[in-house]
Structure 1
């Protein structure tokens, strides 16, 4: 991805310095936000909802920050001027450009940009307390995306998904959840899932996650249209989507697959819906709720 020398977003908060992140004692994890792109690494096992199961994540919306224990401060970490932080700023800025245009053209409204928080170790959000092991997540309670940049090393090493566009896909997926929040989809999901069985709630969660993948594809289409992608970038995103499918994660962590427990979608489904958004370049292609086949 051609990102150097391009505009960086001003909506990035760097909380990696002393007091900005929290070291978490054993057993100190609390509720996380929505989304956790599905890269959900919890201690030695990968937990499955863009951090934690979306059912649990959304339960924390009206609870406010909480959970976990006050942790000790940590040593200062690289400032927001380091290369990876600059990369994140550019990717977020690119999503701002894409969704500002889409909202104006398709909804006739201004796009309310999310903020992205860089943290290290652990973080308190409006959705509760989360630790780095939970992976990146979006919190609809404060319209913020949270990411510990060490996750990208896990993405490359543990999930075998290297490349800068695989990293960009992570951010674009979480921004997809923000788009769902702005359009009322997450609010409706939260309302409905309280009235249905766990199996039905899991099914709806899969549709939520696959739609976020599709919306990430819409952004990728716009980025490609501007001539900013390098050869192999889309393959990197598709590989990342495949590596973090529920079936791939379960095979990797427990050796067998339990389809009824899926809440992000299989590898094939995640690849299919990212590709759908990428090829169509339209939010209309991302109606996972009406689709007979996921």
Structure 2
């Protein structure tokens, strides 16, 4: 089964040409919805494609061919694009959708393994699926062809997302739930702010720095310029230990690291966790993009909780 699936994907990759890019352009520029249809395993693949395109910001739906023949053809309208999937290209229940699309001026795309099939002849564009052994104990049971069909749909989705400059922030808006949504949350929604924010002035005595770090409980404090409010450094527990012998005779400017790692409010929790791991730190200040003033602090434990949840 695995070998048949791999062979099917290799054949698909080697057969794709300019038609794929043309179809991707039409889907990217679609002003209505992308309507996917299919029966059986092809219908399951069509459902998956509709879900993937919708998650990437393109309005999409799955239209069951049998329901379409009993009144649901009205779900398609001008400006839509129809993507019809049938490996044989002769699934009778799908053909009325192609006829309706042609009569209504709706662009149609066929995914099929037979370029001489009824489906291919009716469609405006055809994306060819590979012909080969399905890999199962009974050759006619769709297996490898289903893998190839779903992969072709994913390739189209990736091309459309790239053409429409779909970004991680766009995905966060459309996918607020689950682990993906949590990892893509902006740090402004996770950060500690206000009275919880550990900050001292640049001329604060060492004893004040110790009290601020101890009372706020993050193992760090920011050091701000008294005039501008800009974050000019940070003092960590490690900085205190390294200067323990002279802590009573120095100020925050002497104790601080003048090159702190910082984040902007719109940056993601996932990016913040990568920074924390790369620099081996447990907290990162969030600064205002205009003034460089500290507006929040994200803690490693909060970032790990988001990542795991």
Please give the range of the TM-score, normalised by the shorter of the 2 chains.
under 0.3
User: TM-score normalized by structure 1?
Assistant: 0.22
Structure with greater Cα Rg:
2
